[in-house]
Structure 1
Amino acid sequence: MRADEDSTHRRLDTDANPTAQIVQAVADQKGTDPLSLQSAWDTIGQVLDPVFSTPPSRDADVEITFNYEGYRITVTQDGCATFDELE
């Protein structure tokens, strides 16, 4: 898979819960209800949410990459999220 061609990009609202937005984005891509997906709090929420609730300095340039529900997801501290489907 070439990430440039097959990636889906979303802009997250940095004032809203990022974990909930990730779950909704994955559900949208899968065409399913977000409640049918694996709980994201235990998987990513404890790491991802603080990046937006207590953001580091912009100089830190934080980027978090993780796998969730068949996607490799990268989120940057400015709210850019990239979703690559795993094969």
Structure 2
Amino acid sequence: MPDGKEASDEPREVGRKIRHRKVTPEVEEAKRNLLRLIANLENCEVTELPPLYDHVDHLIEHLFSSPPPAEAQVEIQFSYHGYRIELDQSGNVSFMKLAGSPVDSLGE
């Protein structure tokens, strides 16, 4: 690039990084993996996070227990522990740190 900056393949929104990951699209594995990913981003233990159930009830279970047809391209979005999270029926997940959340930057 002419200005000497490296191009990034990660989209940005208002200067905030979005991290993309993948979880196993199975009910119990997806919930566990999702919590592990957030704990990793926050550099904490999973046990230090608030219960996911209190925030999204059975959304993840419903998404993976009887998934809609692939052509439906279903995604759910929710906020949890300072992140805006998008999760699709294939297990693709994106995390964006919300403005004003306790940690200013995402873990690398």
Q: Fold-level match, TM-score > 0.5? A: yes
The 5-angstrom pairing of residues 23-38 of structure 1 reads: 23-38=35-50
- Matched with 1:14 is 25
Unaligned segments of structure 2, at least 5 residues: 1-11, 100-108
State the alpha-carbon separation in 2 of the partners of residues 10 and 27 from structure 1: 13
- For these two proteins, the number of residue pairs brought into alignment is 87
Larger radius of gyration: 2
* Counterpart code for 1:23: L
* Counterpart code for 2:93: A
Using CA pairs under 8 Å that are at least 6 residues apart, name the structure with larger relative contact order, 1 or 2: 1
- What is the CA distance between 1:60 and its match in structure 2? 1.5
- TM (normalized to structure 1)? 0.88
Per-residue Cα deviation, 1:26-54 (whole angstroms, up to 9, x for no partner): 10000000111110012125011221121
Identity of aligned residues (%): 26
**Structure 1's 36 and 77: CA in aligned 2 closer, same or farther, altered over 3 A?**
same
State the alpha-carbon separation in 2 of the partners of residues 8 and 78 from structure 1: 16
The 5-angstrom pairing of residues 1-87 of structure 1 reads: 2=13, 6-15=17-26, 17=28, 18-87=30-99
State the alpha-carbon separation in 2 of the partners of residues 5 and 37 from structure 1: 22
State the alpha-carbon separation in 2 of the partners of residues 34 and 76 from structure 1: 22
Unaligned segments of structure 1, at least 5 residues: none
- What is the CA distance between 1:16 and its match in structure 2? 5.4
- TM (normalized to structure 2)? 0.72
Note the aligned Cα RMSD (angstroms): 1.9
